[in-house]
Amino acid sequence: MDIMDRLKGPRRNLPIGIQSFERLRRDGYLYVDKTAFVYELASTGNPYFLSRPRRFGKSLLLSTLEAYFCGKKELFEGLAIEQLETEWNEHAVLHLDLNAEDYSEIEGLRNGLELQLRSWEKVYGTSEEGLSYSGRFMQVIKEAYRQTGRGVVVLIDEYDKPLLRSMHNPELQDKFREMLTAFYTVLKSADPWLRFVFITGVTKFAQMGIFSTLNQLIDISFDPQYNALCGMTRPEIEANFVPELEWLAERNSLTREDCMVYLTRMYDGYHFNYFRKEGMYNPFSILNVLRSGMFENYWFASGTPTFLAEMLKKTHYDLRELDGLEVIAASLTDDRADVNNPVPMIYQSGYLTIKGYDTELRLYKLGYPNDEVKYGFLNFITPFYTSLDESRTPFYIGQFVKELRAGDVEVFLTRLRAFFADFPYELNDKMERHYQVVFYLVFKLLGQFVDAEVQSALGRADAVVKTANAVYVFEFKLNGTAEEALAQIDNRGYLIPYTAYGCRMVEIGAEFSKEERNLSRWLVEEEE
């Protein structure tokens, strides 16, 4: 973006990457007011757990809670809590942030806990001599209570970061789990000296002692009351970012309403319960697009789900099942980090969200929350199922789109054949489902640019692509002929739903040879 073009837009401070509430308020950054939630949570005194995807505002929420319990009234001027709170009592706040270390080895966690404990011990004058980490933690809590005369506040940010970073190393993960369980369970026995506990993370590891021993810990991750605690709602965006929205619309030659349509399609769609129909927008992506003026994949680019991709590949998981998957509640709320079942981790990491709920069968329907996540995830995961690296995937997809828009079906199929020919032997030698997944990935990624449907239900074609001038219906046979594929298109009436389009209707029947490990032959017919 030209610098002069940027200067023409609004120049207000957007809090991108700002995790300190005090800095946000003192330096004049825009703030979407969540303090009514803070007051409501603090008023109960209960210990809470909240799971949300990364970069959803969890750290800023904990920083806001810290400022509140430290009695920093001046930071809350003009916010909702100013009309609710009358006492502003000051409490000792122990804020443990596990974001900083890389956790590639056990020393990473030891160093993190050691540094944090020493800083608390320095403040409250306690000793580390002869005590374990958990013993030192308990000692700090008791002394902080004694010195202040008020219950201690404990805030733990990203409690599960060491476990997530060690998913590829079960032995190291077990060591992390053992150490953290001992540390976190102090909160159970320390209850008489505590005023408030709030713990955040991406996932809920049921095997952690934090959940088994802290039986009074309230998980509000699915609570409709706190649906908007992190993230942004559409009313919040429209109320707080009027100049930025106007500039974004103007820069992209859109109306204000069309601009919101784009924002919704790209960044909305997170549902953390089935009662609230209102979706949550990803705050990191919203702030970035309002800063840059460009609709890009900001959240996805900020962190790649390599361990999830490895889990999917290791388990030979059928990617076609992810969008529209039905699961029981336990799959979302009681994750045991089972490497053989990647779905809970994919959901809790933010790559899937709740799309519906069957009240009779008590089944949740999951799907990708928005286009940023869907296409970012599919682009990222394609190299794990093909020989393409991440940089080449968009090129291939772009060429496929150009060829279909130009009506060059033969060129499209020839390129698809070349696509499969590049596969290394170890990929080609997998089960038949692998090839079906690759077809799925190709046509699903085409959906970024053309109207592409990938079907698997009986009575529908394998894939349908709609361009401005034509409708292409594809049927692939792994154990059959191109003739049989065309006959199936006709006999089952796959073209009938598209006859009202009034454009070219093209049937493509293709066969896949297990011996050649590739498309071996195809037939193309155009309906009169």
The predicted structure's pLDDT at residue 423 = 64
Strands of 409-517 (E only): list them. Answer: 451-454, 463-466, 470-477, 504-513
Tell me, rounded to whole angstroms, the distance of Cα 173 from its chain centroid.
22
- Which residues are 375's β-sheet partners? none
Cα-to-chain-centroid distance, residue 498 = 34
Q: How far apart are CA 387 and CA 188, in angstroms?
A: 50
What number of H helices and E strands is found in the chain? 24, 13
| Relative orientation angle of helices 133-148 and 106-124, to the nearest 10 degrees | 20
Could you count the other beta carbons within 10 Å of the beta carbon of residue 375? Answer: 21
Q: Could you write out the DSSP letters of every residue in 341-384?
A: --HHHHHHTTSSEEEEEETTTTEEEEE--SHHHHHHHHHHHHHH
Q: What is the distance between the alpha carbons of residues 477 and 523, in angstroms, rounded to a whole number?
A: 12
The answer to whether residues 49 and 220 touch, using CB atoms and an 8 Å cutoff, is: yes
Give the residue among 289, 322, 288, 291 at the shortest CA–CA distance from 305.
322
Give CA–CA dist 401/519, Å, rounded: 19
Per-residue pLDDT of the chain (528 residues; tens, 9 = 90+): 555 555 556 779 999 999 999 999 999 999 999 999 999 999 987 899 999 999 999 999 999 999 999 999 999 999 999 999 999 999 999 999 988 778 889 999 999 999 999 999 999 999 888 789 999 999 999 999 999 999 999 999 999 889 888 877 889 988 998 898 889 889 989 999 999 999 999 887 765 656 666 767 899 998 999 999 999 999 999 999 999 999 999 999 999 999 999 999 999 999 998 876 789 999 999 999 999 999 999 998 887 778 788 788 777 777 888 888 898 887 776 555 565 678 888 888 899 999 999 888 889 999 999 999 999 999 888 888 777 777 778 888 999 999 999 999 999 999 888 877 766 655 555 556 677 788 888 999 999 988 888 875 556 788 999 999 999 999 988 888 999 999 999 999 998 888 888 889 999 999 988 777 788 899 999 876
Helix, strand, or coil (residue 441): helix
Residues 6 or more apart whose CB falls under 8 angstroms from that of 349 comprise 53, 54, 202, 203, 305, 308
CA distances from 293 to 67, 219, 236, 376 (A): 33, 37, 19, 19
Q: What is the pLDDT of residue 498?
A: 87
- What count of residues does the chain have? 528
Torsion angles phi and psi, residue 33, rounded to 5: -65, 110
Q: Which domains does the chain have, with CATH numbers?
A: 3-12+231-301 (no CATH), 32-226 (3.40.50), 306-371 (no CATH), 386-527 (3.40.1350)
- Other beta carbons within 10 angstroms of residue 527's beta carbon come to 14
Dist. CA 44–CA 130, nearest whole Å: 36
**CB of 503 within 8 A of CB of 408?**
no
In angstroms, rounded to a whole number, what is the distance separating the alpha carbons of residues 73 and 90? 10
| DSSP per-residue codes, 17-77 | T---HHHHHHTT------HHHHHHHHHH--EEEEE--TTSSHHHHHHHHHHHHTT-GGGGT
Token code pair at residue 105? 């080895």
**Which own/partner pairs from 100-105 qualify as long-range (CB within 8 Å, at least 24 positions apart)?**
101/161, 101/162, 102/165, 103/161, 103/162, 103/165, 103/166, 103/176, 104/165, 105/172
